[in-house]
Structure 1
Amino acid sequence: MTGGRTGGPAGDGTGVGGGRLGAVRAAMAEAGVDALVLRPSPDFRFLGGTGQGFLVVTPAACEETDDPGLIVPAGARRVGVDPEMRVRELFGLSLEAELVPATAVLAPLRLRKEPDEVGAVARAALAADAVLAGVRELAWFGATERAMARRLAALLLESGCEEILSVRVAAGEHTARPAHRPGERVINPGDALLVSLCGRWEGHCAEVARVFAVAEPPEDFEAMHSVVLAAHAAAQRSVRPGVPASQVAAAVREVIDGSGYGRFAAPQAGRGVGRGHREGPWLRAGDDTPLEAGMTLCVEPAIYVPELFGARVADVVVCGPGGASPLHPGMVPVTLWVLDR
């Protein structure tokens, strides 16, 4: 960008509907925020941003620009800034105002998805699901985690995803590491194997994760995996309008605690997905956000036994009037999948 203003007035330069923009402005007024300054990010796209500069929202304007100072009112006292704003961008704003996170204004408005948003999340989930359905056709014996992650990423792009956000392949003891990144470990018969895929479709994200055994499961692994499946089913039964997010997490915790694996349970049973791959509501203790119809959730109970193995099963559902509805057909298998090559 080389000029100052790049977009038109609200509903013109950004294409944001009046209803959404009106809700944003009402939330700004309630929070005492005089303007929002967003960079390309989920919040930016939520409000119709399409370029590479900034999107500025004020009571009178909603425009893309490379110089927010031209649009932010001179008397603005509090300005909400994008949580993904870089340090140099923050210093470059040169605004004489208190800078606060825009999350307080926008996060509550992004919880519930419109039908077109649910559809985009579903297509991202379908793409990941289709790749995972073909995992048993790939050659795993003797390959490295990194090599297989690259192969899966290529397949996810071929499925139509516009961007790969995360591809994780963890083998053996690495399955017990929640944040493991694929490395040069060779995948061998007798390994537990955890595969997780997250891509973006039409600006929306979804993650699907499955657990496999290579040739034959390690001792006790199949029993632990069955506990995760039971916890996953309990979470889905708990998802319905009006239920606090923490209650879904409690249902998962009850299953895992009852199995004896309680101290190895992941602290979170899931989270919201949408324009961001990690957004509210959070299915964990302490988040009492009531679930609403239209919320899209990644249900992901997990157990991690240090130095041995772990299991995490993730699927995307939408909270509907009658409860959780899956957004992809290949929901959790009833038994552990075994890879034979």
Structure 2
Amino acid sequence: MTPRTRLEAVRAAMADAEIDALVLRPSPDFRFLGGRDGAFLVVTMDAAAETADPAELVPAGARRVGVDPEMRVRELFGLAIEAELVPATSVLGPLRLAKEPQEVAAVGRAAAAADAVLGQAGELAWFGATERSMALRLRMLLLETGCEEVLSARVAAGEHTASPGHRPGDRVINPGDALLVSVCGRWDGYCAEVGRVFAVAEPPEDFEAMYSVVLAAHAAALGALGRASSAAGVAAEVAGAVTDVIDGSGYGRFAGPHAGRGIGLGHDEGPRLWPGDETALAEGTTLCLEPAIYVPDLFGARVADVVACTGTGPLVLSGASHALRVLDR
């Protein structure tokens, strides 16, 4: 799709939604429509231009204006537009779901770069280090790959692996700890996140059995993606496949909040792989597949891979092994 045909599709969606203009700040939506260096990008039925003062380009008498979901409050108040403001996501979200071949390739390059960082992570010295210091090392490795924006570098050790939103802290990493390690960044505009599980010296008791369930859930999700690709399946079906495996193992109440999410120009975009999301998984959809189990006060495990939906089934773009790696230093 050329920039011109992409704009034509956006304007058709704007007309259907009765939106007279879009006002976007630098964000995934901004980059999707070719935004580069301007403070804002304004799209109307007649023009698309970057500007420092979007109110000048919004047509007089506009009744509904779609605004960027990442717009800051002070930016919203500063628009000085007398129109109903609605999220631009209603127009741009569906158009961004299915990536074009060059976009899938770009996501694949980002996934390979993230993969390479986790490959190097296994060679680092973990004993006696803190979560925070190792997360900093991962950030440096990301930047060395040419990552233009580090979105997260997460390290959770021991009991902290049971907290989905854990931020690296001063906990010292010791022998016998499980480790959850993930990196997420943006390369050439496109995002990727890869996460793997390690153990220090030896895995905790019962950890390997629980981790095997996460791997089985990951395999079930890939199988469901394959069926969805051939039969116009939806996101909820993939989430259901993961739920069936984890529930059947007895770990159901400890399952992660969702099985995955869309990834591309943004690190967290549609669809969401959870029950109730009826978004069709069209060819070109790229996902961060991330089944997880978190057992409070004990341990957790999460595997994150970047996967593309194709006409012949899912294509895993991050190829590092899922085998539990036991670190010896």
1:281-320, aligned counterparts within 5 Å? Answer: 281-320=271-310
What is the Cα deviation at residue 329 of structure 1? 2.7
Match of 1:244 in 2: 234
2:214 paired residue among 225, 228, 231? 228
Q: Secondary structure at the match of 2:122?
A: helix
1:177-188, aligned counterparts within 5 Å? Answer: 177-188=163-174
2:259 paired residue among 266, 269, 272? 269
RMSD: 1.1
Query: Which amino acid counterpart does residue 257 of structure 1 have in structure 2?
Result: D
Match of 1:72 in 2: 58
1:83-122, aligned counterparts within 5 Å? Answer: 83-122=69-108
CA contact (8 A) 1:302 1:311 kept: yes
Query: Residues 273-296 of structure 1, C-alpha deviation per residue, up to 9 Å, x if partnerless?
Result: 000000011110010111111011
CA contact (8 A) 1:318 1:325 kept: yes
Query: Which amino acid counterpart does residue 70 of structure 2 have in structure 1?
Result: E
Measure the CA separation in 2 of the matches of 1:328 and 1:168. Answer: 17
Measure the CA separation in 1 of the matches of 2:69 and 2:18. Answer: 18
The answer as to 2:176 corresponding to 1:190 is yes
Identity across matched positions, percent: 72
Query: Which amino acid counterpart does residue 339 of structure 1 have in structure 2?
Result: L
Q: Secondary structure at the match of 1:125?
A: helix
Measure the CA separation in 2 of the matches of 1:250 and 1:261. Answer: 15
What is the Cα deviation at residue 160 of structure 1? 1.8
Measure the CA separation in 1 of the matches of 2:261 and 2:75. Answer: 29
Match of 1:256 in 2: 246
Measure the CA separation in 1 of the matches of 2:270 and 2:109. Answer: 20
**Structure 1: 5+ residue stretches without partners:** 1-15
Match of 1:171 in 2: 157
Measure the CA separation in 1 of the matches of 2:57 and 2:299. Answer: 54
Measure the CA separation in 1 of the matches of 2:89 and 2:286. Answer: 18
Query: Which amino acid counterpart does residue 305 of structure 2 have in structure 1?
Result: D
CA contact (8 A) 2:65 2:84 kept: yes
What is the Cα deviation at residue 223 of structure 1? 0.5
**Structure 2: 5+ residue stretches without partners:** none
CA contact (8 A) 1:136 1:340 kept: no
Q: Secondary structure at the match of 2:184?
A: strand
Query: Residues 115-150 of structure 1, C-alpha deviation per residue, up to 9 Å, x if partnerless?
Result: 111111111111110111122211000000000000
Query: Residues 31-58 of structure 1, C-alpha deviation per residue, up to 9 Å, x if partnerless?
Result: 1100000000000000000014100000
CA contact (8 A) 2:39 2:51 kept: yes
Match of 2:140 in 1: 154
Measure the CA separation in 1 of the matches of 2:145 and 2:189. Answer: 15
List 4+ stretches of structure 1 deviating above 3 A. none
Query: Residues 229-280 of structure 1, C-alpha deviation per residue, up to 9 Å, x if partnerless?
Result: 0100110111132111000000001110111000000120001100000001
What is the Cα deviation at residue 337 of structure 1? 1.0
What is the Cα deviation at residue 159 of structure 1? 1.3
- TM-score normalised according to structure 2 size: 0.97
Q: Secondary structure at the match of 1:134?
A: helix
Measure the CA separation in 1 of the matches of 2:130 and 2:57. Answer: 52
What is the Cα deviation at residue 162 of structure 1? 1.2
Measure the CA separation in 1 of the matches of 2:152 and 2:102. Answer: 23
CA contact (8 A) 1:149 1:182 kept: yes
Query: Which amino acid counterpart does residue 126 of structure 1 have in structure 2?
Result: A
Measure the CA separation in 1 of the matches of 2:173 and 2:47. Answer: 55
Match of 1:123 in 2: 109
CA contact (8 A) 1:163 1:200 kept: yes
Measure the CA separation in 2 of the matches of 1:123 and 1:295. Answer: 16
Query: Residues 97-121 of structure 1, C-alpha deviation per residue, up to 9 Å, x if partnerless?
Result: 0111111111000000011111111
CA contact (8 A) 2:194 2:318 kept: no
Measure the CA separation in 2 of the matches of 1:84 and 1:317. Answer: 25
Query: Residues 139-170 of structure 1, C-alpha deviation per residue, up to 9 Å, x if partnerless?
Result: 00000000000001101111121111111000
Q: Secondary structure at the match of 1:119?
A: helix
CA contact (8 A) 1:302 1:313 kept: yes
Query: Which amino acid counterpart does residue 16 of structure 2 have in structure 1?
Result: E
Measure the CA separation in 2 of the matches of 1:138 and 1:52. Answer: 41
Measure the CA separation in 1 of the matches of 2:43 and 2:117. Answer: 39
Measure the CA separation in 2 of the matches of 1:136 and 1:265. Answer: 26
The answer as to 2:24 corresponding to 1:31 is no
Q: Secondary structure at the match of 1:137?
A: coil
CA contact (8 A) 2:127 2:173 kept: yes
